[in-house]
């Protein structure tokens, strides 16, 4: 049976841990609000960009130059670039492990392909570099402050590889923010670009040929997909960490209650034992 000092020391340790998890929950809650606002603000822009792209693509359908755009070229997927967006830190429940499992599942589903990886986030980088994966590039610290120019540079490098036919497809794996309690693992193909179909096209008046506008819009569309994936991942990570820290704080409280009850029982047993010894000694003296 542990002594009262050991139990008190353990209670004090759990209380310190509870203070840390509670503080981390509050920090994640504050960061989540800002990240959530950015995600919600980016979604209408992305949806409108896809709609405009669909209309321009339909207008340029009769132009041969539109079909020759290298970002639309369909090839057998022998060389694949997989962009994995994970977090830089842990303590977020199953956030990072689900992403890593999703990437491993993707590799298993493409056994004959040569998969090169772009690793965004420290957790994914550490995991796959230790296992000898082919890493095209790695990017750490982007989630702390998501800057469009940084993400556009990553997307630009991927598009350059695709134009040079060094890769045949680009896939993104990230967590999409659904709510504070739920995130959705997303696996999407970014390149080659699949033009969205719109049954109700808008009859625009074009100052430039539609094929030229399509050529200018396609890189913006790819950059926006990369940018939106990182925004979604950051918001999902803060939500997962807030939920995990709330559960940890609650579990610490329950453990403190159990340890306090156990400590009281040990102390009561010690007092009862001392009383019995005193009474037994007094009886023996008589």
Q: Is the pLDDT of residue 189 over 60?
A: yes
**Average pLDDT value for residue range 238-243:** 88
pLDDT band for position 200 (50/70/90)?
low
Q: Is the pLDDT of residue 42 over 80?
A: yes
pLDDT band for position 4 (50/70/90)?
confident
| C-alpha triplet 131, 138, 231: angle, nearest 5° | 115
Burial class (CB in 10 A: 0-12, 13-18, 19+), 69: middle
pLDDT band for position 162 (50/70/90)?
confident
Would you tell me how many other CB atoms lie within 10 Å of the CB of residue 167?
23
Per-residue CA distances from 73 to 38, 67, 162, 165, 194 (Å): 32, 8, 9, 10, 10
Q: Tell me the percentage of the chain whose pLDDT exceeds 70.
A: 88
Q: What is the pLDDT of residue 204?
A: 66
Listed by start position, the domains of the chain span 4-22+244-285, 26-241
What pairs with residue 114 in β-bridges?
Answer: 79
Name the pTM for this structure: 0.81
Q: 4-22+244-285 belongs to which homologous superfamily?
A: ATP synthase, gamma subunit, helix hairpin domain (1.10.287.80)
- The CATH-assigned architecture of domain 26-241 is 3-Layer(aba) Sandwich (3.40)
Half-sphere exposure of 31 (CA within 13 A, CB side): 21
């Amino acid at each position: 049976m542990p002594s009262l000092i050991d139990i008190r020391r353990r209670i004090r340790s759990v209380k310190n841990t509870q203070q840390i998890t509670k503080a981390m929950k509050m920090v994640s809650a504050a960061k989540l609000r800002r990240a959530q606002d950015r995600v919600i603000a980016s979604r209408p822009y992305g949806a409108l960009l896809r709609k405009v792209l669909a209309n321009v693509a339909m207008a340029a359908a009769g132009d041969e130059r539109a079909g020759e755009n290298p970002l639309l070229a369909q090839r057998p997927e022998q060389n694949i670039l997989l962009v994995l967006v994970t977090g830089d830190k842990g303590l977020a429940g199953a956030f990072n492990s689900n992403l890593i499992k999703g990437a491993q599942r993707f590799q298993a589903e493409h056994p004959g392909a040569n998969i090169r990886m772009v690793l965004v986030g420290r957790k994914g980088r550490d995991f796959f570099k230790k296992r000898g994966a082919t890493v095209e590039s790695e990017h750490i610290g982007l989630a702390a402050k998501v800057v469009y120019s940084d993400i556009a540079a990553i997307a630009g490098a991927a598009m350059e590889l695709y134009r040079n036919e060094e890769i045949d497809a680009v896939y993104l794996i990230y967590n999409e923010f659904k709510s504070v309690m739920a995130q959705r693992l997303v696996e999407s193909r970014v390149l080659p670009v699949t033009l969205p179909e719109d049954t109700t096209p808008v009859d625009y008046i074009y100052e430039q040929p539609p094929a030229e506008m399509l050529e200018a819009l396609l890189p913006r569309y790819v950059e926006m997909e990369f940018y939106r994936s990182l925004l979604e991942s950051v918001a999902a990570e803060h939500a997962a960490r807030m939920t995990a820290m709330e559960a940890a704080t609650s579990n610490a409280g329950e453990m403190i209650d159990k340890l306090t009850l156990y400590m009281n029982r040990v102390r009561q047993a010690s007092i009862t034992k001392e009383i019995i010894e005193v009474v037994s000694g007094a009886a023996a003296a008589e």
